[in-house]
Structure 1
C-alpha cells in the first residue's frame, strides 16, 4: 500500500512539473494559430499517442484477467471519459484563450485556484466543508486581488478568462476522483482526449481559420503539449490519483503554479511586480491550507465525508 502511494505521488509530481512548463508552450504555440486549433491538434496527437500504450498494457495484462474484475462496467468507462472530456475541453479552452492576453506565470497561479474550488463544489455532493477551506478561500480572494486587480478595481481580460476555467478544472478533478478507481485509467484517458479534441475541432471550424502551414509553424509546441502534456501528464494524473489520497493529490498538483512561474521567467523572460509576487505567495498558501487534512478528522472519514 505504501509503495502504491509513493508511486502515485511520484507520478503526480511529474504531472505538476509538466503542467507548469506547458503554459510556456501553449503561449508560444499561439503565435501562429488560434486557441481552438491549437487545442484540437494537441489533443488529437495526445489521443493517438495513447493507442500503442493501451495495446502494450493490454498484452501485458492478458494473463491477469482476474484483476480486471475490479474495473467497472463499460458504461462507467464511457460516462467517465465523456464527462472528463467535456470538463477538460472547457477548462483548457478558457485557459488557452486567456493566455493570449496574460502571462504564463499569472495563468498558472490563477488556474491553481481550482484546488480551492474542489472542496466548495463538494458541497453539491453533500460533503462537509471545513473551516480551513473557508480560510483558504478567503486568502485566495486576497491573493487573486493582489495578482490580478489593477487600479480602478479592474481585472484584465486574460486573467478573467483563465479564472472562468478554474470551475471546469475543479469539476475535472472531482470526476476523475469518482471514476478512476472504477475503470481502466488509460482507456478513460483516451476517451477524454478524443472527446476534447472533437469539441475543440468543432469550435475551431466555427470561429477560426485553419491553415496547415500555420499548424506546421507551431509543430514544436503542439507536439510537446500533445505527447508530453496530454499523452503522458494527464494519464499520469489519472494513474497517480488511483493510489493517492485526494487531498495529497491536490496539494502535489498545486505545485503546477510554481513551475509555471519559474518556466515563464526562465524561458520567456516574464517578470512580476512586487504586488503580484505577494499575491502569488498568498494564493499558494491558500491552496495548501485548503487541502491540508483536518486534525480532528481521521483520514478514512475525511476521504468519505470531508474534502
Structure 2
C-alpha cells in the first residue's frame, strides 16, 4: 500500500510537477530560436554541469569511471533519444498534448519490463492498467495519427516513441545501474548524453546562433538547469521518502500544469478528445499503481523528463 503523503512530500510533488510541466512550454519557446537537436545538446550538457556542481558542493558520491558504458547507454535511452523526439514533435504538437502523451511512460514501462524482466510479471491488474493507458493515448492523439503522415501526426507519434525509449531506459537502469547512488547515476547519465548529443547537434544543425532573444536564453536555461538538473533532486527525495507509487503522481500532475501554461502563454486550446484521453490514461495509471485496489505499487527506477 502506498505510503502516506506528508505536507513536505506534497510540496515536493507539486514543485516537481510545476518544473516538469514548465519544461514542455520552455521547449516550445526555445524552438522559436534554435533547433530540436541543439535544445537536447544544451539540455543534457548544462544539466550535467548542474548536477556535477551539486555533487561537488555537497561532497556526494560521484559517477564511477568503470560504469561509463552503463551511463552512455542510459543517456541514449533516457535522454538523447526521448528528448530529441519530444523536441522534434513539439514543433507540431501543442504543449499540453505533448505532456499528456508523455504521461504514458509508466504504461510502456510496465509492458517493456514484463517482456524483459523475469520479476515483472504482467498480472491481470497490470494488464488492465496497460489497456486503459493505451486506450487513453489513442483517444488523446486521435485515430488520424495512426492513419495519416502529416507533420502533426508524425509529431505525436514521435512523442509516443519517446515514452517507449523511457520504458527501455527503466529496464536498463535496473539491470546496469543497480546499487548506484541516485544523483551520481543521474550525473553520469547526463555526462554520457552530452558526449553523444553535442556532436550530433553540430553535425545535424550546426552551431547555435551567436545571439538568442531573451526568451530563447531563458527557455534553454530553464530546460537545462531546472527541468533536467534540479528536478532530479525533487524526484529522488520523493522516491526515497514516499515510494515509487506516490512518485508516479508527479507524472499525472505534469500534464495539467503544461495544459494551463500552454493556454496562458501560447494561446493553445486542446480538443475534448485530449482531455478524455488524459482521464482514461490517469485511470490506467491509478490501476497500475494499485491505489484503487489497495495493492502494492510498482517499482520504478529512472524518471522521465
SS at the partner of 1:129? coil
Partner of 1:65: none
Is 2:121 aligned against 1:131?
A: no
C-alpha deviation, 1:135, in angstroms:
1.7
Q: Encode CA deviations 1:117-161: one digit per residue, 9 max, x unaligned.
A: 121122111111222222222222322222212559636111011
SS at the partner of 1:101? coil
Is 2:162 aligned against 1:170?
A: no
Structural mapping, 1:144-293, within 5 Å? 144-150=137-143, 154=147, 156-176=153-173, 182-213=179-210, 215=212, 218-292=216-290
Aligned-partner Cα distance in 2 for 1:293–1:90: 32
Which stretch shifts more, 28-37 or 229-238? 229-238
Aligned-partner Cα distance in 1 for 2:9–2:176: 16
Aligned-partner Cα distance in 2 for 1:194–1:152: 35
C-alpha deviation, 1:238, in angstroms:
3.5
Match of 2:104 among 113, 125, 128: 113
Which stretch shifts more, 155-164 or 250-259? 250-259
Classify 1:132/1:262 alpha carbon distance in 2 versus 1 (closer, same or farther; 3 Å). Answer: farther
C-alpha deviation, 1:13, in angstroms:
4.1
Aligned-partner Cα distance in 2 for 1:235–1:174: 21
Aligned-partner Cα distance in 2 for 1:76–1:255: 37
Classify 1:75/1:32 alpha carbon distance in 2 versus 1 (closer, same or farther; 3 Å). Answer: closer
Which stretch shifts more, 236-245 or 160-169? 236-245
Aligned-partner Cα distance in 1 for 2:242–2:97: 28
Aligned residue pair count: 290
Is 2:76 aligned against 1:102?
A: no
Is 2:75 aligned against 1:85?
A: yes
Classify 1:10/1:185 alpha carbon distance in 2 versus 1 (closer, same or farther; 3 Å). Answer: farther
C-alpha deviation, 1:103, in angstroms:
0.7
C-alpha deviation, 1:174, in angstroms:
4.4
Classify 1:154/1:54 alpha carbon distance in 2 versus 1 (closer, same or farther; 3 Å). Answer: same
SS at the partner of 2:248? helix
Which stretch shifts more, 18-27 or 143-152? 143-152
Which stretch shifts more, 192-201 or 18-27? 192-201
Partner of 1:50: 51
- CA RMSD of the aligned region, Å? 3.2
Partner of 2:303: none
Which stretch shifts more, 220-229 or 231-240? 231-240
Contact 1:112 1:254 in 2 (8 A): yes
Q: Encode CA deviations 1:212-265: one digit per residue, 9 max, x unaligned.
A: 325566211001111111110134324433444323322333322222212212
Contact 1:80 1:188 in 2 (8 A): no
Contact 2:28 2:91 in 1 (8 A): yes
- TM-score normalised per structure 2: 0.82
Aligned-partner Cα distance in 2 for 1:77–1:289: 36
Contact 2:34 2:209 in 1 (8 A): no
Aligned-partner Cα distance in 2 for 1:293–1:150: 30
C-alpha deviation, 1:187, in angstroms:
2.2
Aligned-partner Cα distance in 1 for 2:198–2:246: 35
Contact 1:77 1:183 in 2 (8 A): no
Contact 1:204 1:210 in 2 (8 A): yes
Aligned-partner Cα distance in 2 for 1:9–1:176: 26
Runs (5+) with no aligned partner, structure 2: 301-305
- TM-score normalised per structure 1: 0.81
